[in-house]
C-alpha cells in the first residue's frame, strides 16, 4: 500500500465512499443519460398513473448530492474536508498521523470518527506497529454498517 492513502486520522482513503471512482463515474453517466432522454418529461407522464414518478425531481436532487461527495485525491495529498481539526492538530504537532500521538486514547477530536469507523483505534494501532505504508492487508471494516469478513 502506498502511504498516501493513510489519512492523518488513520482512515484508509481507498475505503471511503467519497473516493469510489466507479460509483461517481456511474452517477455521472446516469445523470447524462437521463438528461439526454429528457427523462424529467417522461417521469411527469408516468406520474399520471404512478405517483412514485412524481418524486423524480427528488431523485435527481439526491444524485447531485451524491456527486458532491466525490473526493478525487487522498486526504494526505490535499483531499478530504476543506477544514479538518484533526488534520490541523496532527500537522501542528509535526506528526505523520494520530498514531504517533501519546494523547490519542483520550482525544475527543476523534470521537465522531470512532462512532462511524469502529476500527479507528485498532487501525491506528496497526499503523503505529507496521507503518502507514504496510498496514492495509491487516485492516478491518471501514464503516460501522459493514460486516467483518464480509467485504471492506
Ligand atoms: S479530512 Fe480529516 S477526518 Fe477526513 S480523512 Fe482527512 S484527516 Fe481524516
Ligand atoms: S490530539 Fe493527537 S490524537 Fe488527537 S487529533 Fe491531535 S494528533 Fe490526533
Return d(Cα 134, Cα 42) in angstroms, integer: 51
Same domain, 102 and 49: no
Locus of grid cell 489519512: 7
Residue pair 17/66 in contact (Cβ under 8 Å)? The answer is: no
pLDDT at 1: 55
Same domain, 65 and 130: no
Same domain, 125 and 85: yes
Q: Dihedral (C-alpha) 137, 123, 112, 80: value to the nearest 10 degrees?
A: -50
State the CB neighbour count (10 A cutoff) for residue 117.
24
Instruction: Output the CA 31–ligand 2 centroid distance in Å.
Output: 40
Same domain, 53 and 119: no
Same domain, 108 and 121: yes
Mutate to test the pocket of ligand 2, among 101, 123, 124 (most ligand atoms within 8 A of CB): 101
pTM above 0.75, yes or no: yes
77 grid coordinates: 495529498
Same domain, 147 and 136: yes
Instruction: Output the CA 45–ligand 2 centroid distance in Å.
Output: 55
Longest CA–CA separation in the chain, Å: 63
CA-nearest residue, atom 4 of ligand 2: 107
Same domain, 29 and 60: yes
Give the ligand at the shortest distance from the Cα of 86.
2
Q: 59, 62, 67: which is closest to 39 by C-alpha?
A: 59
pLDDT at 27: 98
Same domain, 79 and 63: no
Same domain, 118 and 151: yes
Same domain, 1 and 64: no
DSSP 8-state class, residue 82: S
Domain that holds residue 6: 1-16+74-152
The number of distinct structural domains making up the chain is: 2
- Phi, psi at residue 12, to the nearest 5°? -100, 115
Q: Is the CB of 103 under 6 A from ligand 2?
A: yes
**Residue segments in the chain with a per-residue pLDDT below the cut of 70:** 1, 150-152
Same domain, 42 and 85: no
Non-local CB neighbours of 139 within 8 Å, separated by 6+ positions:
12, 15, 119, 123, 126
Amino acid at each position: 500500500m502506498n502511504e498516501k492513502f493513510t489519512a492523518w486520522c488513520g482512515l484508509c482513503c481507498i475505503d471511503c465512499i467519497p473516493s469510489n471512482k466507479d460509483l461517481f463515474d456511474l452517477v455521472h453517466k446516469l445523470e447524462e443519460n437521463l438528461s439526454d432522454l429528457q427523462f424529467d418529461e417522461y417521469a411527469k407522464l408516468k406520474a399520471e398513473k404512478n405517483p412514485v414518478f412524481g418524486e423524480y425531481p427528488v431523485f435527481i436532487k439526491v444524485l447531485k448530492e451524491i456527486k458532491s461527495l466525490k473526493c478525487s485525491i487522498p486526504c494526505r495529498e490535499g483531499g478530504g474536508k476543506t477544514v479538518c481539526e484533526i488534520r490541523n492538530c496532527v500537522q501542528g504537532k509535526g506528526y505523520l498521523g494520530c498514531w504517533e500521538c501519546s494523547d490519542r486514547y483520550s482525544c475527543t477530536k476523534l470521537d465522531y470518527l470512532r462512532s462511524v469507523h469502529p476500527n479507528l483505534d485498532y487501525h491506528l494501532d496497526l499503523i503505529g506497529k507496521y507503518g502507514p505504508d504496510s498496514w492495509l492487508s491487516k485492516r478491518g471494516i471501514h464503516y460501522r454498517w459493514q460486516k467483518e469478513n464480509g467485504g471492506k
